[in-house]
Amino acid sequence: MSTKFRNLKNDLKDLEDDTVSQLNQGRLDKNSNSGKLSNYILLFAFIATLVFYVGSRIDYSGINDIPDRIEQAISEPSEDLLLGMGAWMTEMGYGELSREELINLRREGVTATETQQLHDIGYTDITLDQLVELQNAGVSSDYARMMKELGYSLTIEELAETRRAGVTANFTSRMMDLGYTKEELTKENLMRMRGVNVTDGIAARLMEQRGERLTVDELVRYRISNQ
């Protein structure tokens, strides 16, 4: 066998050995990667099981109440404020109110300042329930005062009734500026107009277009026919 042929045979054997070695190394790497993947899967399964187990042990029954509790804690009046309000309410003739009663009044929006302002307007016999009713209807002492200045003598119930219907002192005053009298702008007529969304702007525009002031009935019919 020639030296050249022997060298070629040795080269082929070396190439074969290298190929086998690389294949074996590939199998090892593949097995290693496969082992790591199996470990990751087992770890994920363990974590998922642990989370499920812990979650099943937690009581979520009161979690929906958390925002309300936070809001209540933030809005809870201070003791000094309650003491001051209590003393002021007693001075206005409401007797010795308990801490719980004062807190409930505050939650409804009733304050000693607003109560005093209503007394100053002339509503001196207003009860605690009526104070709450006014707040729920959106009646402020400013509304009560301005309506009185416009010539209206409204009871507590009428104040609440008109505000629920959307009547404002601003609307009433602007309608008077257009020439409507208090006799035309009765409580009932004010509520009728606001019930169909008559505005002073509509009344002014129609007056300009027709050259005369429409009656309340005509304004109401106009709004109904143009809904």
pLDDT digits (tens, 9 = 90+) for 198-214: 999 999 999 999 999 99
Whether the pLDDT of residue 62 is over 90: the answer is no
Q: What is the pTM of this model?
A: 0.66
Q: Which helix (H) or strand (E) holds 149?
A: helix 141-149
Q: Would you state the pLDDT for residue 8?
A: 46
Q: Decide: residue 195, CB within 10 A, 0-12 exposed, 13-18 middle, 19+ buried.
A: middle
CA-CA distance, 84 to 100, in Å (whole number)?
Answer: 14
pLDDT digits (tens, 9 = 90+) for 82-139: 999 999 999 999 999 999 999 999 999 999 999 999 999 999 999 999 999 999 999 9
